[in-house]
Amino acid sequence: MDKIPVTVLTGYLGAGKTTLLNRILSEPHGRTYAVIVNEFGEIGIDNDLVVAADEEIFEMNNGCVCCTVRGDLIRIIDGLLKRRRRLDAILVETTGLARPAPVAQTFFTDDAVRAKTRLDSIVTIVDAHHLPRGLEHSSEIPEQIAFADVVLLNKSDLVDAAGLGRAEQLVRAINPYARLHRTSHCEVDLAAILDRRAFDLDRILTLEPDFLTAAADPEHEHEHDHGHEHEHEHEHEHEHHHEHGDDGHAHHHEDDAEATPPAAALHTDGILSVALSTDQLVNPDRFVPWVETLLAEQGGDILRSKGILAFTGEDRRFVFQGVHMIIDGNLQRPWADGEPRRSRLVFIGRNLDAARLRREFEACIG
Amino acid sequence: MSGDIATTLAKRQGWIGTIDAVVVSCVWVGRRLAIADGEGRIGWIDPAAPQVEMQAAHTGAVLCAAADATALITGGDDGQLMRHVGPEASVQMARLPGRWIEHLLLSPPLHLVAAAAGKDLIVFDVRSGESIRQFPHPSSIGGLALDPKGRRIAASYYGGVNLWWLGIDGGNPRCLEWKGSHLATTWSPNGRFVITAMQEHTLHGWRIDDEMHMRMSGYTAKTRAFAWSQKGRWLASAGAPQVVCWPFTGSDGPMGKAPLHRGDHGAVPDTDGTGVLVTQLAFHPREDVLAAGYDDGCVELIHFADGRTLPALAPGDGAVTSMAWSCDGRVLACGSEGGRIAVIPVSPASR
């Protein structure tokens, strides 16, 4: 049986999570979605597939940061799956003050949950109007953005073009890799937020054009949504990345590392992203221990990581993704003929020393 | 030792039926077998002439069930607590709108039902359905266990276990603390130990007198089922490829002692490298025989003393979710995630 995809919906208080959930529950899409909300009252729909959860964060193994899980989700998912009905997806709404890590980690650490469901993506709703002020007062907002696979820059109708540009810049400063959609009243094609397969190693390349140069991937163009007013904007930015990627220089990563604006100046609570790349082959015997040690030691600060590696003596691509210290990696499809064997790594987190990461990564080359 | 599939006890002398639902619970109510399923339905089976017809009771899934000699009690995700005395004979005892009733225990001597809904343990009179008292917990209840006399209840949660007197109002519970998330819970038949399964694939135990801690590890998955051997000498536990059995013969429980491993089916990994795990356990009420159910649907009978096994039910139809021996020990009932129900007569010869 296919695993049921789970979409995690985060966003600060008032950003628009309830608006989006009400839309998902009331639109005639013919799908069956179970929704786990943090409070009953706000959802105006009486439906036995809406379950209220008390956020219960469990620390396991003496409280190591990657071992916090949402105990209530484990129980609720177990209960939801006692019925035979076909669920097309499960949506989990987090509280506005929630950090996304425990929710995400629940889907990697609990064996029973993992056997039946898969984390599909983390969707973060951002209030475009309040974002600059929100970032000054909240450490949750940058973390929610950092974890996101998809960002809805909502309430875009309440801000002028300059304000919207500024908000987008703030989001990008924290997380340049998430799919960004400008919305008002959370009006977005559900296909843009559901069934993204953002944690699927097989799909990491094709789904995230902002993350990796995917010019060689024939599926790439088909992944774009059609007919949305903001698509043009997105496409544009995307091409910009292409230009960078296509220059094909081994030291391209320096551009990337510097492409993230100084976080302090932008009030991102010290969260930024570091991208590293090389066109030379990477030695797996040095790389794997390095990245494992790095995540073991700094996994508290590294919120998310992803990578695609071209190893020496290996015709297949090694792909990994991580949430804090939990890392999932695998040898994947072979490199295509003519596809440049470029390795790329991305870390999003706090206290990242880009120069040191680059130095250590380069020591894994050859 | 385990033979080929054709020789299972169920094939030779048992009855196998299917329902289009997850079997949540198989429970004996006197001489009848009651089945509760994930669609909120209840079915009754006469082991002498087995057949099953499920009838609607709850509006959602049944999440838990318990029984005494005359009635089945069920709790559901519709917030209903229901009492069933036979087909077409279900009544609502209580309803907690918007809440899930996730765990249930019945104390026959006190005529009380204890139901866990989120953080609350609510005690009802089994006959009137009246809610008598309520015991709060700091987080959601993960499991319940009764002491051997049926007067005291252990409720596990995140941070430990609370012990309450079922028949006494309020007051502070006895708290057995240990950091972490405690789930399935069991009370030793001699009344001296409480053991929980933890989220991180270990067991934790307390000697109640002095709160001496016990930690038992080595599991592949969460332990969802426990069973005590005759006189409480051994605690059999699920969550590993074989049944993990801890000795409770000394005053220190299993501390410093190695567990016994029982069961053949999961001992050798499948050809594709994935192993099966024990999910359900039931000790025979009188004899030294343990029934073990696996996550591939297989059930085997284990002669506990020497470890010999006899295949009782072939793999198939998903994990075994519930097993129960009839009170006289003559029939084993099994239910699975895929909706298979097996009623297996077990004669002394086949044991």
Structure tokens that stand for B47 in this block? 């082991």
Q: Residue A62's pLDDT band (boundaries 50, 70, 90)?
A: low
pLDDT in tens, A163-221: 999 999 999 989 988 999 999 999 999 999 998 888 888 776 543 435 333 333 333 33
pTM assigned to the model? 0.86
Residue B201 has pLDDT above 90, yes or no: yes
User: Does B73 map to a domain?
Assistant: no
pLDDT tens-digit series, residues B95-118: 998 899 999 999 999 999 999 999
Q: Average pLDDT of A32-42?
A: 81
Q: Residue B301 pLDDT more than 60?
A: yes
Is there a contact between B20 and A82 if contact means CB atoms under 8 Å apart? no
* Containing structural domain, residue B305: 1-52+220-350
| Residue B318: inside a domain | yes
**CA distances in angstroms from A263 to A258, A272, B260, listed in the order given:** 11, 6, 57
Residue B79 lies in a domain: no
What is the SS3 assignment for A97?
A: coil
pLDDT band at B53 (very low <50, low <70, confident <90, very high): very high
Q: What residues of B are in contact with residue A48 (Cβ under 8 Å)?
A: 59-60, 77-78
Domain count across chain B:
1
- Preferred mutation among B35, B139, B156, B204 to probe A, highest tally of A CBs within 10 A: B139
Residue B88: inside a domain, yes or no?
A: no
Is residue B313 within 8 A of residue B344, CB to CB? The reply is: yes
Supply the pLDDT for residue A364.
Answer: 95
> In chain B, what residues touch A81 (CB-CB under 8 Å)?
22
Task: Answer whether residue B45 shows pLDDT above 70.
Answer: yes
Q: B153: pLDDT confidence band, cut at 50, 70 and 90?
A: very high
**B139 chain-A contacts, CB cut-off 8 A:** 56, 71
Across the interface, do B63 and A69 touch by the CB < 8 Å criterion?
no
**What is residue A42's predicted lDDT score, i.e. its pLDDT?**
63
Please tell me the distance in Å from B348's CA to the nearest CA on chain A: 35
B22 touching chain A per CB within 8 A: yes
Per-chain mean pLDDT for chain A? 81
Q: Tell whether B128 is covered by a domain.
A: no
Q: Do A79 and B59 touch (CB under 8 A)?
A: no
pLDDT at A207 (0 to 100) = 33
The amino acid at residue A119 is L
Kindly provide the b/e burial profile for residues A342-356, where b requires at least 16 CB atoms within 10 angstroms of the residue's own CB.
bbbbbbbbbebebee
Residues in chain B: 351
Q: Looking at CA atoms only, how far is residue B22 from chain A in angstroms?
A: 6
pLDDT tens digits for range B70-92:
999 999 999 999 999 999 899 99
Domain assignment present for residue B84? The answer is no
Tell me: pLDDT of A44 over 80: no
- B67 falls within a domain: no
Q: The CATH number of the domain where B2 resides is what?
A: 2.40.128
State chain B's maximal CA–CA distance in angstroms: 57
pLDDT category at A54 given cuts 50, 70, 90 is: confident
Give the ipTM. 0.90
Contact between A343 and A252 under an 8 Å Cβ cutoff? The reply is: no
Q: A25 to chain B nearest CA, in Å?
A: 18
Choice among A306-310, B268-272, B279-283, B308-312 with the minimum mean pLDDT: B268-272
B139 touches chain A (CB under 8 A): yes
Strands B193-198 and B234-237: unpaired
Residues of A engaging B, defined by a Cβ cutoff of 8 Å:
40, 48, 51-52, 54, 56, 58-62, 67, 69, 71-72, 74-75, 79, 81-84, 110-112
Those residues whose C-beta lies under 8 Å from the C-beta of residue A262, and which sit 6 or more positions away, are none
B205 within some domain: no
Chain A residues near residue B20 by CB distance under 8 angstroms: 84
Q: Out of A60, A69, A79, whose CB is closest to B63?
A: A79
